[in-house]
Amino acid sequence: MATTLAKAEEAVEHAARLDHVSKSFTTPAGQQLVLDDISIDVAPGEFVTLLGASGCGKSTLLNLVAGLDRPTAGSITTDGRPALMFQEHALFPWLTAGRNIELALKLRGVPKPERRGRTEELLALVRLKGAYGKRVHELSGGMRQRVALARALAQESNLLLMDEPFAALDAITRDLLHDELTRIWAETGVSVLFVTHNVREAVRLAQRVILLSSRPGRIAREWTVGIPQPRRIEDAPVAELSVEITDVLRGEISRHGQH
């Protein structure tokens, strides 16, 4: 009975827990270690960004948390099934914006009579009220990512995994979506694990920034971001912390280049 209670408490205390996680892949040259001894706890309602140079294993780590792959060593537990949002919107072009969201509700088992109303609520949440009937080709890049976000939220997961979702957008659109994501995170209380290689984006959004070293990815350093929200990417405290993190990141890349 005590074991059962401990497990229940752990599920409440952590939206995600990675305990000494490592991941290797088999290559023609042998085993390649991509992630090495990663331990991370994401608290309920916490916004955490994973930062690092290209190829350091950020996306691999996110895939492991999503359950799309298994770690070679260590364990991962999450509070329910995570929702995943990619850099590409991955919307079905033959469906309208609303139907794309409804599909997620259908897969979750939401009764058909309830789907339209819930979809309209989600579209309103991402500031796309009235876009239910629009086709994907009628939407801008930013609007497509809003629909993708609404579809992820339709899964009503306690943990949202985001793999560089704004990387392909122009700077102004990206900045607007930073504002929207911050607002939605505050309104919903969802936990977010957000992968990026953009230092200012990491500082702009997160409560905590975790820097991975170059491959194999290890936790190089963590920062708690005490800057009050709402933040702007050009705010002086954001810029100052970004410079500090960038200096550490450059050091990690330099060390990797010397091997």
**45 or 4, which is more confident:** 45
pLDDT in the model for residue 3: 28
- Which of 116, 53, 51, 61 has its CA nearest to residue 84? 61
**Range of 4-13, 28-37, 175-184 with top mean pLDDT:** 175-184
Kindly state which CATH superfamily the domain 2-82+157-257 is placed in. P-loop containing nucleotide triphosphate hydrolases (3.40.50.300)
**What are the CA-CA distances from residue 2 to residues 5, 10, 17 (Å)?**
5, 12, 20
Q: Where are the domains of the chain?
A: 2-82+157-257, 90-156
pLDDT in the model for residue 11: 44
Span 219-250, pLDDT tens digits? 999 999 999 988 998 999 999 999 999 999 98
Q: CA-based Rg of the chain, rounded to a whole angstrom?
A: 19
- Which of 65, 98, 61 has its CA nearest to residue 83? 65
Angle of helix 97-107 versus helix 141-153 axis, rounded to 10: 20
Span 182-194, pLDDT tens digits? 999 999 999 999 9
Contact 209/222 with Cβ under 8 angstroms? yes
pLDDT in the model for residue 178: 93
Span 96-114, pLDDT tens digits? 999 999 999 999 999 999 9
pLDDT in the model for residue 258: 46
- Look up residue 61 and give its two tokens: 């780590």
Cα angle vertex 102, ends 173, 184, to 5°?
Answer: 40
pLDDT in the model for residue 12: 53
Mean per-residue pLDDT over the chain, rounded: 89
Instruction: Quote the CA–CA distance of 36 and 72 in Å, as a whole number.
Output: 10
DSSP-derived secondary structure for the chain:
-HHHHHHHHHHHH-SEEEEEEEEEEEETTEEEEEEEEEEEEE-TT-EEEEE--TTSSHHHHHHHHHTSS--SEEEEEESSPPEEE-SS----TTSBHHHHHHHHHHHTT--HHHHHHHHHHHHHHTT-TT-TT-BGGGS-HHHHHHHHHHHHHTT--SEEEEESTTTTS-HHHHHHHHHHHHHHHHHH--EEEEEES-HHHHHHH-SEEEEEPSSSB-EEEEEE--PPSS--TT-HHHHHHHHHHHHHHHHHHHHHHT-
Contact 153/188 with Cβ under 8 angstroms? yes
- Which of 185, 153, 144 has its CA nearest to residue 82? 153
Contact 16/79 with Cβ under 8 angstroms? yes
- Look up residue 116 and give its two tokens: 């339209």
Ranges 4-8, 34-38, 79-83, 196-200: which has the least confidence:
4-8
**pLDDT confidence band for 256 (50 / 70 / 90):** low
Phi, psi of 49 (to 5 degrees): -110, 140
Report pTM: 0.89
Span 145-162, pLDDT tens digits? 999 999 999 999 999 999
- Look up residue 70 and give its two tokens: 């298994």
Which residues, 6 or more positions from 236, have their beta carbon under 8 angstroms from its beta carbon?
Answer: none
